[in-house]
Chain A
């Protein structure tokens, strides 16, 4: 079983390398943002496989943490692309 999980981990890491090619080459900024978001999702699966391989359930918290961080990063960066600022200034100055 360990060999199976190791092969799965290698496949996930190769997929992340393929997405890194898109981050490096992508013609526009949103392309790079999409590829980085998918890299975050694949990092989650890599950590899940690592926690099986190391035979410990203590890495599971990291999965939830990375999911939240990746979502916040995606939302703030797409807001920056769309409006030019992340936290807007209030109208009552």
Chain B
């Protein structure tokens, strides 16, 4: 029974480390800010969640300590990390960071232009 517990814990920790390394490779090699945010927000989240699950099982099965804080941390990371990625990508687009040369379609451009013109008209009317 101890052996099975150790195998599950080591598998979860190894999956977490592999996703962490994939995150670093993606951030170092992908061409622009949006693809980097894509790599960072998804893969880093899954990696740290898997690793924290392994640590949670370690403290539960080997030490007999059921830690609510770790479960809360996993849930909090799962909720907030995609929101952080979305906010960073939107801030990058509004600040005018160009997408890579390989981009074929940019649907967000017209919407933002339209919004800017209506905002300008509203301030002029006021």
Contact = CB atoms under 8 A, between A and B. Distances in A.
A18 B58 contact: no
Contact of B88 (A33, A63, A70): A33
Interface string A15-46: 10011011000001111011101100110110
Interface residues of chain A: helix, strand, loop or mixed (majority): helix
Counting contact residues on chain B (CB < 8 A from A), the size range is 35 or more
Contacts, number: 141
A81 B89 CA distance: 11
Interface residues of A, number: 43
The 7 closest A-B pairs by CB, nearest first: A30-B92, A78-B91, A81-B91, A18-B24, A82-B91, A78-B87, A74-B84
Interface of A: 1, 4-5, 8, 11-12, 15, 18-19, 21-22, 28-31, 33-35, 37-38, 41-42, 44-45, 48-49, 51-52, 57, 60-61, 63-64, 67-68, 70-71, 74-75, 78-79, 81-82
30 contacts: A8-B14, A11-B17, A15-B20, A15-B23, A15-B24, A18-B28, A19-B24, A22-B27, A22-B28, A28-B33, A30-B88, A33-B88, A34-B40, A38-B23, A42-B23, A42-B44, A44-B52, A44-B73, A45-B51, A49-B13, A63-B70, A64-B72, A67-B77, A70-B84, A71-B80, A71-B83, A78-B84, A81-B91, A81-B92, A81-B95
